[in-house]
Amino acid sequence: MDMNTQHPGAANTTTSVTGSKNNKEPRLVTIEWHMLDKRKFFPLSMTSSFTIRCFLHPLNVIKTRIQVQKHNSTYSGTVDAFWKIWLSEGGAGLYRGFWISMPQLLSGMAYMASYESVREVMFTEGGITDSRVRALCGGAVASLVSQTIIVPFDIISQHMMVIGQKHGHSVLNPLNIDYQYASNKEVATRLVRAVYAHSGLLGFYRGYTASLLTYVPNSAMWWSLYHTYQDCLSLLLPASVPALAMQGLSASLGGATTAVISNPFDILRARLQVCTNESNSIAGTMRQLWQEERLKIFTKGLSARLIQTIVYSSVIISGYETVKRLAVRDEYKHMVRW
């Protein structure tokens, strides 16, 4: 998931509140955008997102390295990649490109604001009450906005993740920079200069179309599936199950389904952004991937992506929903269900 996420309600309702069991006290089903105190919401949300990114960044490094390698030339799987990186590079290797990816926090704010705004506008002005339709449209628009902001930083971050990695009989250094014995700051600076020298400003949006093909449908599908799973679980699970637990499980199921479906596009995006010596076109890169991997394009790096997506979806939803509950305006607090 492109994902900095939010939650819906347990059922597909037409309002933001529903009755409690005794039908006397209304309870919030969906915490809508206008119900939040933004002065509390944004600082709490950024803190939550930063903590989660610290925890999950190693999985992103592992996934990216597996995706750009030819066949299984360096790593045979997620666990093998973890131990090899740990033994050869230490903990720093698992956090390659971490600081250059921090602007993702800002794109995350743009993502959430866009998502919530689209959902609310569709409800208040368009009269659309189906939570899955609102989530589908909101997720697509939010991803478009965030990807436009983050792709340049993503490119530099991914280069830092894979530089020096074995790639067939060679070593990955697509931009031919001097990276040995250089600090992370020096490597990042040299990569920025090299990208500009190689392709100009357009170089910072290399793979942008592939990113949109990956993340816009991914985000839209994830939100729609999340609502669908939540509707189903609300009928299957007993009422004693906490709302946050049900939302976390729904998020994981939605993330797993989306990851499996969109995995080939994620590999395509990674190859386009990192392997600058390969084809510049989506079709050409896809043909090359098919020649190298065949049907493995559906499973290459999938275990790392599944782990990352399942954990990320569950954690980010739990964090995001907790933040929303803490930031809800005073007049709605008595209606919030945990």
Domain that holds residue 111: 32-332
The answer to whether the CB of 107 falls within 8 A of the CB of 49 is no
d(CA 305, CA 75): 15
pLDDT digits (tens), the chain, 338 positions: 444 333 333 233 333 444 444 444 445 556 888 889 989 998 898 888 888 888 888 888 887 787 777 666 678 878 888 888 898 888 888 888 787 767 777 888 888 889 988 988 888 888 888 888 999 999 999 999 988 888 888 888 877 777 776 666 667 767 777 777 777 778 888 888 888 888 888 888 877 887 787 788 889 999 999 888 988 888 888 878 888 888 899 999 999 998 888 777 777 777 766 655 555 566 777 777 767 767 666 667 777 778 878 888 888 888 888 899 899 998 888 888 77
Does some domain include residue 56?
yes
User: The domain spanning residue 262 has which CATH number?
Assistant: 1.50.40.10
Burial class (CB in 10 A: 0-12, 13-18, 19+), 110: middle
Does some domain include residue 245?
yes
Tally of domains within the chain: 1
Does some domain include residue 159?
yes
Q: How far, CA to CA in Å, does 334 sit from each of 14, 15, 17?
A: 20, 17, 12
pTM > 0.85: yes or no:
no
Closest CA to 140 of 223, 231, 208, 211: 223
